[in-house]
A = this chain, B = another copy of it.
Amino acid sequence: MTAELFCFGESGNAYKAALTLELSGYDWSPVFVDFFNGEARSPAFREINEMGEVPVFREDGLTLSQSAIIQLHVAKKTGKFLGRDRDEVMRWLLWDNHKMSGQAGTTRFLMNFIPPEKRPEQVIGFLQGRMKAAYKVLDARLSGRKWLADDVPTIADFACCGYLYYPEPFGFARADWPHIDAWLDRIAGLPGWKHPYDLMPGHPSDRAPKEDK
CA distance A175 to B73 in the complex (A): 38
Contacts of A123 in B (CB 8 A): 122-123, 126
Query: A90 within 8 Å of B by Cβ?
Result: yes
Q: Which of A72-94 contact B (CB under 8 A)?
A: 72-73, 87, 90-91, 93-94
A139 to chain B, nearest CB (A): 11
Q: Tell me if A66 is interfacial: C-beta within 8 Å of chain B.
A: yes
Q: Give the 5 A-B residue pairs with the shortest CB-CB distance, closest first.
A: A122-B122, A97-B98, A66-B94, A123-B126, A66-B91
Cα(A182)–Cα(B121), bound, Å:
38
Secondary structure dominating the interface of A: helix
Q: Which residues of B contact A95 (CB under 8 A)?
A: 51, 66
For residue A20, CB closer than 8 A to chain B, the reply is: no
Question: Which size class do A's interface residues fall under?
Answer: 20 to 34
Decide: A87 and B102 in contact? CB cutoff 8 A.
no
Interface residues of A (CB under 8 A from B): 50-52, 64-66, 68-69, 72-73, 87, 90-91, 93-95, 97-99, 101-102, 106, 120-123, 126, 130, 133, 137, 140-141
- A141 neighbours in B (Cβ, 8 Å): 50
